[in-house]
């Protein structure tokens, strides 16, 4: 029998998820935990008389061809990465009636990546959000060791009002269009503006130039001039920034344009780069010089083995270089290095296992570093007990205690 170590840590704060969207998703069918055959059988069992918004679809596990989409009931399938979706043939009339722009651009990857906040608004609108759904979502995180969560792309103005009323979910960033439309009191309560510079590995659109297997190509949302325009607009509001940049090309563009913005006299109270999974040593040092906070997901360390179907091993080994960031570039967990989940999955067990038992040594985080990077929960106090099984390379949540 393997020895299991029990450790008690504080209830934690998730610095990067999509609180409003996942709250809305609480009432949606979920493919998580199903294999390809089970997921397909589940989809075939959906009702024929209404649109089902289905979450948890993994394109790397369940490829759906045109013939299959033609036979399925009405459904909008949302990629687990949140950056792609499919509509069944029977679902298309429902989507055209409710959100015509999604129907119009359903096959246009460039449009989808340039309009991620619009996708979230549409998803949330179709699924619906209210105080009860938000409260239920937050409560569902507690047994997983998470007491509060930050919304990195508020789905809509109504969703922000729901978030603002709950201290465990009030921290939020919004797309520039939504931020600009907010009344001054809401802008003051919002953490800042969220910009998306590239896609996602799951959608085969992250800005990674080489290493793709089969389909896959770097997709950039902006050219430099357009991005500088977005930065200037955000600066005019005195807004903080959270910038999605997964691939090295997107990280380079973010740094290049932020350096140019500084030369032009633009300033921001906070700049966060989100994900930066393939950040280089040079980019890390430049980010430190600019005073940028890196917000990274330790659970995405498992991408190094999960996505061998779409990126070569040499590329994936550069994913989440935590030891370089901490030991060489000097980032400090909890100060200018923050951790979250992106909801893929929520909870502390998976990121803890990825941190303590990573595929590549340079991805390792100590439990103390992981806890510091998440930080204590906001608006709620408690602890979580972890069971760490060194032999099996597993981490489980054994229980939580409030107060």
Q: Are residues 99 and 142 in the same domain?
A: no
The encoded tokens of residue 210 equal: 């080489």
In a domain, 238, yes or no: yes
Q: Are residues 171 and 298 in the same domain?
A: yes
> What burial class does residue 237 get, using C-beta atoms within 10 Å of its C-beta: 0-12 exposed, 13-18 middle, 19+ buried?
middle
**DSSP helix/strand/coil, 29:** coil
Reported residue count of the chain is 403
Q: Are residues 82 and 228 in the same domain?
A: no
Q: Are residues 140 and 102 in the same domain?
A: no
What pLDDT is recorded for position 2? 61
Interatomic CA distance for residues 381 and 158, integer angstroms:
28
Q: How many domains, the chain? A: 2
**DSSP helix/strand/coil, 242:** strand
What DSSP character marks residue 198?
B
In a domain, 19, yes or no: no
The encoded tokens of residue 358 equal: 């990573």
**DSSP helix/strand/coil, 267:** coil
In a domain, 44, yes or no: yes
What pLDDT is recorded for position 61? 85
Domain residue limits at 324: 131-402
Q: Are residues 153 and 222 in the same domain?
A: yes
CATH number assigned to the domain comprising residue 220: 3.20.20.140
Q: Are residues 346 and 234 in the same domain?
A: yes
Q: Are residues 174 and 37 in the same domain?
A: no
Mean pLDDT in runs of 10 for the chain (403 residues)? 87 97 91 92 96 89 92 93 89 94 88 85 89 96 98 94 94 95 95 96 92 91 97 97 98 98 97 98 98 98 96 97 98 98 96 98 98 97 97 96 93
- Residue finishing a domain among 73, 108, 143: 108
Place of tokens 């499919």: 86
Determine contact, residues 237/249, Cβ cutoff 8 Å: no
Q: Are residues 269 and 398 in the same domain?
A: yes
Q: Are residues 60 and 205 in the same domain?
A: no
In a domain, 8, yes or no: no
What pLDDT is recorded for position 119? 86
Place of tokens 């999955």: 345
CA angle 84, 109, 64 (to 5 degrees): 50
What pLDDT is recorded for position 60? 78
Q: Are residues 283 and 353 in the same domain?
A: yes
pTM (2 d.p.): 0.91
Q: Are residues 249 and 297 in the same domain?
A: yes
């Amino acid at each position: 029998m393997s020895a299991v170590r029990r450790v008690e840590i504080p209830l934690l704060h998730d610095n990067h998820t999509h609180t409003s969207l996942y709250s809305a998703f609480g009432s949606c069918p979920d493919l998580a935990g199903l294999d390809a055959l089970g997921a397909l059988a589940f989809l075939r069992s959906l009702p024929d008389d209404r649109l089902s918004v289905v979450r948890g679809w993994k394109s790397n596990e369940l490829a759906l061809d045109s013939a299959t989409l033609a036979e399925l009931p009405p459904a909008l399938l949302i990629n687990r990465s949140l950056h792609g979706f499919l509509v069944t043939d029977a679902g298309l009339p429902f989507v055209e009636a409710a959100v015509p722009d999604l129907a119009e651009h359903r096959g246009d990857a460039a449009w989808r990546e340039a309009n991620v906040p619009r996708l979230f608004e549409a998803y949330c609108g179709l699924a619906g959000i209210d105080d009860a759904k938000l409260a239920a979502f937050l409560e569902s995180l507690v047994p997983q060791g998470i007491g509060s969560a930050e919304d990195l792309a508020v789905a809509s103005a109504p969703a922000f009002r729901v978030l603002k009323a709950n201290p465990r979910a009030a921290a939020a960033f919004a797309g520039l269009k939504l931020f600009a439309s907010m009344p001054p009191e809401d802008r003051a309560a919002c953490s800042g503006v969220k910009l998306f510079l590239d896609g996602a590995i799951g959608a085969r659109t992250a800005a990674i130039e080489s290493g793709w297997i089969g389909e896959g190509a770097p997709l950039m949302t902006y050219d430099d001039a357009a991005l500088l325009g977005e930065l200037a607009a955000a600066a005019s509001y005195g807004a903080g920034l959270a910038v999605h940049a997964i691939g090295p090309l997107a990280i380079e563009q973010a740094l290049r344009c932020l350096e140019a913005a500084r030369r032009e006299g633009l300033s921001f109270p906070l700049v966060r780069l989100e994900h930066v999974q393939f950040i280089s040593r040079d980019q890390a040092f430049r980010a430190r010089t600019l005073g940028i906070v890196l917000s990274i997901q330790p659970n995405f360390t498992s991408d190094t083995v999960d996505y061998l179907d779409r990126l070569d091993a040499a590329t994936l080994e550069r994913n989440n270089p935590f030891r370089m960031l901490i030991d060489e570039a000097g980032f400090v967990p909890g100060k200018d290095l923050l951790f979250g989940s992106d909801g893929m999955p929520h909870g502390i067990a998976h990121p803890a296992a990825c941190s303590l038992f990573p595929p590549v040594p340079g991805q390792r985080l100590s439990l103390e570093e992981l806890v510091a990077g998440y930080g204590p929960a906001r608006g709620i106090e408690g602890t979580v007990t972890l069971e760490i099984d060194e032999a099996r390379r597993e981490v489980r949540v054994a229980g939580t205690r409030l107060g």
